[in-house]
Structure 1
Amino acid sequence: MSSYYPIMLRLEGKRVVVVGGGKVSERKVSGMLGTGADIVVISPEATAELQRLASSGEIDWKRKSFSAEDLGNAFMIFAATNDYDLNQSIRRITRNHQLVTIVDDPEGSDFHVPSQMQRGRLSIAVSTGGASPKLASKIREELAEQFDDSYEDYLDFLFQARQQVLKEVKDSTIKKRLLSAIVSSEFLTSKDREGDFNRLYEEMKAGT
């Protein structure tokens, strides 16, 4: 099989259609909440959680059977019903510019949703190419233990420090040294990252 190309997608303002109202669809929808995507669920029935999300306005639930018109303007499509033939028919009528995943046919899908963990700005995604979602989840849990909650504040610091370095530091050597230094274990565990960063910056400037 061809290898997949990992990518982080900005879904804000884009229409995502999820066909199916069961637990699998619920998981797919839950993973997209907060992305700003226009999430539309197509299904005569839906789980209690999907109904709650529809009632709160977080998603749009079309309480109906699927029809080809439902895919109009869709950027991304999840064929997530428990009907293999229906899922395949959804695949056949998608257009070339639309991305589709079929929950019971990984090989026929354009993309797979990886097992993901989030620590603020840090996102770690694990995929087995559809071979074993269970293994992907297991690896994700192991990584979650390694990259604990402390990384949330650390990533915020790295973001702010990097913006400052790129804006203020003109010397390319100092810039490179600073950006390398702040990803060290000393800065991860520091109780005063901003103070340590400013002191290091001044020392480097003094040494030039």
Structure 2
Amino acid sequence: MIPLMLDLTGRRVLIFGGGDVGARKAAYFEHEAEVTVISRSFSPGLEGLAIRRQEADLSALPDEALRSLLQGVFLAVAATPDPALNDRIGRVCAGTGVLFNNAAGEPGDVIVPSVVRGSRYLVAISTRGKSPAVSRYLRMRLEAEYADLDRMIDLQDEIRSMLRETEPVQAERSRILWSILSDDEVWEALASDYGRARGLAIERYLHA
């Protein structure tokens, strides 16, 4: 597998299973994709999500009915509590060319990672299903230790624009930006005062 980040705007995502696992998957995709959850019953965790619900007894549906449901779908998620049913859904997806994530059963061709998200960055973490606890641990550590990362990205972007006007050598621009990124005092200032951090970076690295 290789990591990718996809724009799912306007894409259809179909989730088989409306339990707690299906609700978590729906919440992951609903901000961007057009999500439909198919199930006999639906978890309270689905309340308030911008999704469509479709009632069906998935275990009673033949493969042909599953193929019909998958028409026009970009990604399908099998989130039922029955691994054998999930695997069958995966086989139908493989035969129709629909990307597939399996919550329980044989691995699909898509992994839904743990995500650390800011307004300026997105980090995806996966252990390929071996240890969800490790993925969660890394996410929590990153969120705690880099709480001001959005501000640093803004600062890097601003200083980078300044350097394009004043420093013709790319290697020197990179060195300056890396020096700012490695400066503990700049990070400390970012936690409370962006203007102070900006002034410190300019004084130390642009006016040196």
* 8 A contact 1:116–1:125 mirrored in 2: yes
Q: 1:12 to 1:182 in 2, by over 3 A?
A: farther
Aligned partner letter, 1:9: L
Q: How does 1:89-168 map to 2 (within 5 A)?
A: 89-95=88-94, 97-105=97-105, 107-147=106-146, 149-163=147-161, 165=163
Aligned equivalent of 1:15:
12
Aligned equivalent of 1:26:
23
Q: 1:70 to 1:183 in 2, by over 3 A?
A: same
State the 4+ residue runs in structure 1 displaced beyond 6 angstroms. none
* 8 A contact 2:160–2:173 mirrored in 1: no
* 8 A contact 1:162–1:179 mirrored in 2: yes
CA–CA distance in structure 2, aligned partners of residues 112 and 196 of structure 1:
42
Aligned equivalent of 1:82:
81
Please list the CA deviations of residues 60-105 of structure 1 after superposition, one character each: whole Å capped at 9, or x if unmatched: 2223345322211211111111122321221111146422111112
CA–CA distance in structure 2, aligned partners of residues 91 and 166 of structure 1:
50
* 8 A contact 1:19–1:41 mirrored in 2: yes
Aligned with 2:174: secondary structure?
Answer: helix
CA–CA distance in structure 2, aligned partners of residues 33 and 179 of structure 1:
36
TM-score, L = length of structure 2: 0.78
Is 2:47 aligned against 1:48? no
CA–CA distance in structure 2, aligned partners of residues 203 and 39 of structure 1:
52
Structure 2 unaligned spans of 5+:
59-65
* 8 A contact 1:120–1:151 mirrored in 2: no
For the aligned residue pairs, the C-alpha RMSD in angstroms reads 2.6
CA–CA distance in structure 2, aligned partners of residues 139 and 193 of structure 1:
27
Aligned equivalent of 2:197:
193
CA–CA distance in structure 2, aligned partners of residues 163 and 71 of structure 1:
47
Identical-residue share of aligned pairs (%): 28
Q: 1:81 to 1:150 in 2, by over 3 A?
A: same
* 8 A contact 2:24–2:45 mirrored in 1: no
Q: 1:102 to 1:163 in 2, by over 3 A?
A: farther
Please list the CA deviations of residues 44-68 of structure 1 after superposition, one character each: whole Å capped at 9, or x if unmatched: 3211231432xxxx11222334532
CA–CA distance in structure 2, aligned partners of residues 164 and 12 of structure 1:
34
CA–CA distance in structure 1, aligned partners of residues 162 and 51 of structure 2:
38
Name which of 31, 39, 64 aligns with 2:56.
64
Structure 1 unaligned spans of 5+:
none
* 8 A contact 2:14–2:37 mirrored in 1: yes
* 8 A contact 1:120–1:155 mirrored in 2: no
Aligned partner letter, 1:102: N
Q: 1:135 to 1:52 in 2, by over 3 A?
A: same
More deviation, 162-171/73-82: 162-171
